[in-house]
Amino acid sequence: MSGTFLGMPAFPEAAGAAVADPVLRANLRHATHTIRAKRERAVAELADWEELRQAGKEIKDRTLRRLDVYLLRLEEAVVAAGGTVHWAEDAEEANRIVTGLVEATGEREVVKVKSMATQETGLNEALAAAGIAAYETDLAELIVQLGDDRPSHILVPAIHRNRGEVRDIFRERMGDFGRPAPEGLTDEPAELAEAARLHLREKFLRARVGISGANFMVAETGTLVVVESEGNGRMCLTLPETLISVVGVEKVVPTWRDLEVFLQTLPRSSTAERMNPYTSMWTGTADGDGPRAFHLVLLDNGRTAALADATGRQALRCIRCSACLNVCPVYERAGGHAYGSVYPGPIGAILTPQLRGTVSELDASLPYASSLCGACYEVCPVAIDIPEVLVALRERVVAEGGSPHRSGHRLERAAMAAATWVFDHPAALAAGERLASATRRLHPSRPLGAGAWTEGRSLPELPERSFRDWWRRRTRDGEEGS
Amino acid sequence: MRVALFVTCVNDAVYPATGIAVVRILERLGVAVGFPAAQSCCGQPQYNSGYREQARRLARRTARAFDGYSHVVTPSGSCAAMVRAHYAGLGEPGLGPRVYELSEFLVDVLGVVDVGAVFPHRVTYHPSCHGLRLLGLGDRPRRLLAAVRGLELVELEGAEECCGFGGTFAVKNPEVSVAMGRDKVGAAVATGAEVLCGADNSCLMHLEGVRARTGGEGAARLRTVHLAEILASTEEEPLR
């Protein structure tokens, strides 16, 4: 079973620890820089990229504005095609529904397609509590599950592991879950992939229940879409007798025409491919082909609350491509675990506090986990203005009287109020500057309370006089001072 | 054209030489420049930290301070971006279109690329994020630098990556901030440049602070200098 994020420290502490881990830093730097460069090339191939980006944004916004209508249309189409639709208000309800559906089949194990929604709800843990084993079949999810680890990236959840670490995990843990790793397994990528293939093949052929998420749901026909690279998804979606898909309500698109836009932007943004290797689409059930029973669990879990926020709702456009993680300088250094959620990086910093609220120290610290450099917004294929949402969430944290460092919050509030007063009274500002400059020889190089700055940086020396003072003298003396 | 200098609070208190440099450049190019004393801070620290009401107060003050000026020039891409991108949302839509970051004013308004500067040194340029992404300064700063006599401009690897300052980010997430700063300083040292130039002194304050704690000969030789100070440097009054 994978570890959970409960009880995590606030972002700055966790990120500080990650920064000090040289192996993690090297793994992340190598991986993010590689995919960053590839994405740039893949996107540059399309002359109409900006138009596609704008179209994706507008399709999502239009859908979200009438989400109720499209969800009901989707439900109608899924039911007409032989599927069953369940509505889950929160994670617990979703897990209860899925557990009940699996129990009704009498099966004690399920195979899973990589799914953010079921990670968000902690489905594997809920199934385990009911005595049902859930096997992850995506290669990276397998690495995370075998390593009793947590995902640290949306698309490549084991990005924090290098191949040597993967070999060790396979050697030590595969036997506990099924077919052990071959003797003498090395860290050659082809060998590692083959070990995973052999291990997983057993699961695919045995499993009678498959659980997935979906990248998109097409309302007009009730069709679900999973895009993937490894073919494990295709196996899980077609071989089992029962298929259960847990999907966030924001994943609906009205028509196939709308879907076309995202099938261009998603692969290029995520894996830097023109087209992903496997695109599986299914509509209800079909006689003699694929699962006999299909259940769709529509998950809210905070999404409609986010929809009510005029600025924050744009986070619901997200198609989980991970481009924002791959360009984020903070993610690159802090790693995914520091974000304490299955959604790390810039999108996690705006999504998690909206889905979970800003009550915990960790969740309240996430809107501050950014230098607001804007690299994420630049690459986002649905134009989510992440810095804008971060600032709005900071306003919320301030309004709630909380802050990443709650003890320091009163101090920050006082400092902001004092600074605003001084800046609103330039005479006081000028006097303060003169006083600071006059006493500058007395200032310690590491003043008390400036530790967060001076731990890794020196402070600038104050000048003999401020610009304001220089200008005043120059105007008074009618000559240029210096 | 009535031109005012918006020096910004950081430059006023900590880096007056940058403000003085802007005045020298503009006057050298025949532009009379005013300095309304009612100006102070644009309100960006408040705005970005979630103190919107306080940001609104400073936006109002700043907008009033520059009433009557047709062009407001500032040596900070970040403060210019604050005014242009966010003042309308704070109820002050009038100032944004009249605010120019220094390189924009020189290249777009005055139509000058060669400002008659002399600076015989090896220089690399870090484009700060807000100038780069919110203002779209593009290659304006580098074109200005390339036209400086004696100056050898060398490309900075990963130039468009954030330096890690980010306002209160620098103290709220100090470890990540410093790690980003170290990588930026490292990239600058690798160019063999003597000067790491930027158009935002708050970023340079962070980078200089990191540099001073970085060992090695390259870091010891490197210094951070604002774009305006290089452009102000002449044969008669050289920047040392």
Tell me the pLDDT band of A446, cut-offs 50, 70 and 90.
confident
Distance from CA of A195 to the nearest CA of B (A): 37
| pLDDT in the model for residue A482 | 41
B64, B38 Cβ separation under 8 angstroms: yes
| pLDDT in the model for residue A1 | 33
Q: Report whether pLDDT(A406) > 60.
A: no
**Joined tokens for residue A51:** 């138009």
Q: Which residues contact A441 (CB under 8 A, 6 or more apart)?
A: none
Q: Report whether pLDDT(A328) > 50.
A: yes
Q: Which of A21-25, A40-44, A243-247, B110-114 has the lowest mean pLDDT?
A: A21-25
Q: Give CA–CA dist B143/B104, Å, rounded.
A: 11
Does some domain include residue B116?
no
Mean pLDDT, to the nearest integer, of A225-236? 97
Number of domains forming the structure of chain B: 2
**pTM listed for this prediction:** 0.94
Distance from CA of A428 to the nearest CA of B (A): 11
Q: Report whether pLDDT(A481) > 50.
A: no
Q: Report whether pLDDT(A480) > 50.
A: no
Note whether B101 and B147 are same-domain residues. Answer: no
| pLDDT in the model for residue B178 | 96
Does some domain include residue B240?
no
Contact B168 A424 (CB under 8 A): no
| pLDDT in the model for residue A408 | 59
| pLDDT in the model for residue A5 | 65
| Residue carrying structure tokens 């596609």 | A52
Note whether B31 and B127 are same-domain residues. Answer: no
Strand partners, A217: A224, A252
| pLDDT in the model for residue B118 | 98
Mean pLDDT taken over chain A: 93
| pLDDT in the model for residue B215 | 80
Of B156, B150, B152, nearest to B233 by C-alpha is B150
Note whether B66 and B30 are same-domain residues. Answer: yes
Q: Give CA–CA dist B205/B207, Å, rounded.
A: 6
Distances (CA, A) of B228 to A318, B24, B199: 41, 9, 8
Q: Report whether pLDDT(A2) > 50.
A: no
Per residue in B37-70, is it b (16+ CB within 10 Å) or e — as a string?
eebbbbbbbbbbbbbbebbbbbbbbbbebbeebe
| pLDDT in the model for residue A6 | 60
Alpha helices in B29-110 (DSSP H): 44-49, 52-65, 77-81, 102-104
From B77, B109, B141, give the residue that closes a domain.
Answer: B109
A223 phi and psi, to 5 degrees? -95, 135
Query: What is the layout of strands, in order, in the sheet containing B3-5?
Result: B33-34, B3-5, B71-74, B99-101
Residues of chain B with pLDDT under 50: none
Of A372, A399, A420, the CB nearest to B54: A420
**Joined tokens for residue A168:** 């060790």
| pLDDT in the model for residue A424 | 86
| pLDDT in the model for residue B13 | 95
Report yes or no: B166 at the A interface, CB cutoff 8 Å. Answer: yes
Contacts of A460 in chain B (CB under 8 A): 14-15, 205, 208-209
Tell me the pLDDT band of A3, cut-offs 50, 70 and 90.
very low
Does some domain include residue B238?
no
Contacts of B51 in chain A (CB under 8 A): 395, 398, 413, 416, 420
| pLDDT in the model for residue A445 | 74
Range of the domain at B63: 3-109
Sketch the domain layout of chain A as residue ranges: 425-477
Does some domain include residue B115?
no
ipTM of the complex: 0.96
The CATH number for B225's domain is: 3.40.50
Q: Report whether pLDDT(A407) > 80.
A: no
pLDDT digits (tens, 9 = 90+) for A237-251: 999 999 999 999 999
Note whether B65 and B166 are same-domain residues. Answer: no
More confident residue, A231 or A5: A231
In 3-state terms, what secondary structure has residue A85? strand
Does some domain include residue B103?
yes
DSSP letters along A357-412, please?
A: -S-SHHHHHGGGS-----HHHHH-TT---HHHHHHHHHHHHHHTT--SSHHHHHHH
Q: Is the dihedral of CA A413, A417, A423, A427 positive or negative?
A: negative
Mean pLDDT, to the nearest integer, of A336-361? 96
pLDDT digits (tens, 9 = 90+) for A352-401: 999 999 989 999 999 999 999 999 999 999 999 999 999 999 999 999 87
Tell me the pLDDT band of A9, cut-offs 50, 70 and 90.
confident
Contact A394 B48 (CB under 8 A): yes
Does some domain include residue B187?
yes
Q: Is the dihedral of CA A246, A252, A255, A257 positive or negative?
A: negative
Note whether B224 and B147 are same-domain residues. Answer: yes
Note whether B227 and B128 are same-domain residues. Answer: yes
Query: What is the layout of strands, in order, in the sheet containing A252-253?
Result: A252-253, A216-218, A223-228, A278-283
Contact B167 A465 (CB under 8 A): no
A26, A160 Cβ separation under 8 angstroms: no
